[in-house]
Each structure stands twice: as C-alpha cells, then as structure tokens.
C-alpha cells in the first residue's frame, strides 16, 4: 500500500506528464490578422474542367497557388501613428482579414426608402423579400442614404479620409457604388442591389467540397462579350459583377478598391474636378474599377505564386465559364449565376442549376452604360 508521501509524488508526476503531452499535441487553426497574411489555398475546379485541363492556357498554372510563409501579426500602434501610414495600411489594420472566420450572416441593400416606409415601391417588395425568404437566419438591412453617411462615419471614424471622400462624391450613384465596398470591407456578408431577387440560398452558391476557411470572397461574371464590338457595350472584355458580392470583412480586394476610390476622389476634390457628369461613373466607382482591383489581386505576387506561370491571369482564364472556378481565396461564378435570363453571352435561364440571383435590369437587358445609371435612380 502506498504511503501518503509516495502517493503525492506519484500524482504530481502523472499531472506533469499529462500537461506535457497536452501541450505537445494541442494544435489550433491559424488566425490571419492582416491582409498580408492571406494563405494561398490550392485552386478548386469542377470535374468537368479538370478533364479539360490539358487544353487550358499556361496561365492557369497560376491558379494552383501553394501555401506561402505567413507573416506575424502587426503590433498594436497608436491612432496618431496609424494615420501617418499609407491609406491601404490603415485599412488593413482597422479591418483585419481572417480567412478562417465564417462569412458574416448579413445582407446589405441600399435604397431611397426602407420596406417599412410607405414610399417603398411595391415593384421592389417581392425582390427585397426574397432575400429574407432564402436567408431566414441572416440580418437583412436596407440602408437609406441618410443612414449610410452616419454608418460610414461610425465604421470609418479612425480613417477620416474615407468619410471625407464619401461625402465629397457629387452623385448618388457614386455614393451607392462606394457604399457597397465600404460596408463589405468593414462588416462583410452579402451586398446586393435592391432590384435583385435571390433564387437560391447563398449556401448553394459554394460547391459542397470547398471548405469555408479556404475562400473569403464570392463574385460573378457580369459580362463576357465575345464579339468584335464588345467595347461599345462594356468597358472590360471580362467584367465582374458588383451588384451582388459576398465577402468576409477585410478582404484585400476590398481594401484595394476602397483605397483607389478614396485617393482618386480626394485628388479630384483638391483639383476641383469632381463633377456631376455621369459618363465616368463606371470607371470611377463602378464595375470597371472593381474588375481592375480583382485582376490586380489575382496577379499580385504578395498573394499568388506566379513563378510557374508564363503570364498574368487575364480575361482569357474566365471567358466561356459554365461552372465555378476558385482562384486562391476567391470563388468566381459563371455569368448564369448572377445574370440568368439575359439571353446573351451564354447565360442560362432562371431555372438553370447555376442561377442564384436574378437582376431585374428594369425589366429588360440593356447596355451597361445605360443600366448602371438607370438602376440607381429607379
């Protein structure tokens, strides 16, 4: 029989071994505290595309992006010191990107009125309600112009340049464009225009074999005009849709587009060239600048290993898509997903398995230059 002293010694030894074993084997998922810590997961492609791999351009090699060394989290800095840093660094610090986090269950929309107001158009009620119907557990907010400025003042209080730029924008359409990037950068979730209808839950947008911690943004193709006069209709040969975007907060693409718009707005304000001319909206805040930020990200060596590629990722990597592609941490959906029923550019109908969001386009399909402005003013 053990003496009391021997029993105590034996217990202490067992406890020591237990804690040593636990500390040796315990692991946890890495948390990425800023945009530069983004992991480079391997590209995902559906089986139909894997079978055609031999026929894809050499630049598709860049889609296979291995994990890279991850930087240590940034140390805490004072507000005064932070505001002396470049705008992109300020945004990265204030809105850190964590790819392991869940995509927030928010749906953001903007309009002149909320559904609770009598002035809210009956023609929009069914479309607006569809988002709640397909996402009953989500927080669904329709933000008016008056509320938007206060929300941005709150979210971007520590980055005053952003608020200054938002207030300086002279057109509602410019503010509406800017707001979608700002709310997603700060809070994440889904942004979708008020004249869109959800056809399926966002849970169905993602292939089931793609882990939630391997992607941080979901975008769709808006335009793939394979015709000689494509430039008469669109600003980019492949154009990414910005009427519906899903993202985790802090995504590097959002940092880039917010910084670009902020700096360009403040530059024009200083030069006195901010005008109410609608002709430059698409390049200034719309789908052109959005598309450019996405391609800049895809070809940024800070995030992607381009060493095995013979060239940049370009529109050629996305033309003719009929199934999703995963580029790093971005899932790109084909044109059918957010533009079903437009009867052009290979888009399927509303009942297509890949049709997720219906955009009304005021009832008919029309050139982008007319569409973008008309929707904002109703």
Dump pLDDT digits (tens) for 291-312.
Answer: 999 999 999 988 887 777 668 8
Candidates 337, 303, 301, 335; CA nearest to 320 is 335
Residues 6+ apart with CB under 8 A from 164: 266, 269
Identify the band that residue 190 occupies on the pLDDT scale cut at 50, 70 and 90.
very high
Strand duo 217-223 + 330-333: pairing:
parallel
CA distance 126 to 222: 23
**pLDDT mean over 255-281:** 94
* Tokens at 27, concatenated: 């692991």
Alpha helices, H only, the chain: 4-25, 47-50, 79-82, 87-94, 122-134, 145-155, 160-168, 172-187, 252-271, 281-284, 287-298, 335-338, 368-377
Domain extent at residue 256: 4-377
Identify the band that residue 147 occupies on the pLDDT scale cut at 50, 70 and 90.
very high
**pLDDT mean over 327-350:** 94
Q: What three-state secondary structure class fits 7? A: helix
Q: Quick one: CA dihedral 153, 158, 162, 165, positive or negative?
A: positive
Domain count, the chain: 1
What are the CA-CA distances from residue 165 to residues 175, 262, 343 (Å)? Answer: 9, 5, 38
Q: What three-state secondary structure class fits 191? A: strand
Q: What is the pLDDT of residue 44?
A: 38
Each residue's pLDDT tens digit, 32-60: 223 333 333 333 334 334 333 333 333 33
């Amino acid at each position: 029989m053990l003496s009391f002293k021997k029993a105590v010694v034996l217990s202490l030894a067992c406890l020591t071994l237990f804690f040593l074993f636990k500390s040796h084997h315990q692991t946890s998922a890495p948390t990425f505290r800023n945009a530069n810590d983004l992991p480079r997961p391997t590209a995902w492609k559906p089986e139909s595309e894997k079978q055609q791999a031999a026929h894809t351009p050499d630049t598709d090699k860049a889609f296979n992006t291995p994990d890279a060394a991850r930087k240590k989290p940034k140390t805490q800095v004072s507000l005064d010191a932070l505001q002396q840093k470049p705008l992109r660094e300020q945004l990265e610090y204030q809105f850190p990107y964590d790819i392991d986090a869940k995509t927030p269950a928010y749906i953001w929309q903007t309009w002149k009125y909320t559904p609770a107001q009598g002035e809210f158009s009956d023609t929009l009620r069914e479309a607006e309600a569809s988002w709640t119907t397909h996402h009953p557990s989500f927080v669904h907010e329709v933000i008016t112009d008056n509320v938007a400025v206060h929300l941005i003042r709150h979210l971007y209080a520590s980055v005053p340049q952003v608020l200054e730029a938002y207030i300086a924008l002279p057109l509602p359409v410019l503010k509406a464009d800017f707001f979608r990037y700002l709310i997603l950068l700060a809070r994440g979730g889904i942004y979708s225009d008020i004249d869109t209808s959800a056809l399926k839950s966002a849970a169905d947008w993602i292939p089931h074999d793609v882990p939630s911690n391997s992607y941080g943004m979901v975008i769709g193709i808006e335009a793939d005009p394979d015709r000689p006069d494509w430039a008469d209709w669109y600003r980019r040969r492949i154009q990414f849709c910005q009427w519906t975007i899903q993202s985790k907060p802090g995504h590097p693409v959002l940092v880039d587009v917010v910084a670009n718009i902020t700096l360009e707005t403040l530059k024009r304000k200083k030069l006195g060239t901010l005008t109410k001319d609608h002709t430059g909206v698409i390049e200034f805040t719309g789908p052109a600048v959005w598309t450019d930020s996405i391609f800049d990200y895809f070809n940024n060596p800070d995030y992607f290993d381009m060493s095995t590629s013979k060239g940049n990722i370009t529109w050629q990597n996305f033309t003719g898509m009929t199934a999703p592609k995963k580029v790093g941490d971005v899932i790109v959906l084909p044109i059918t997903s957010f533009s079903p029923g437009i009867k052009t550019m290979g888009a399927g109908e509303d009942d297509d398995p890949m049709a997720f969001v219906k955009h009304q386009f005021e009832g008919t399909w029309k050139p982008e230059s007319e569409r973008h402005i008309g929707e904002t003013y109703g």
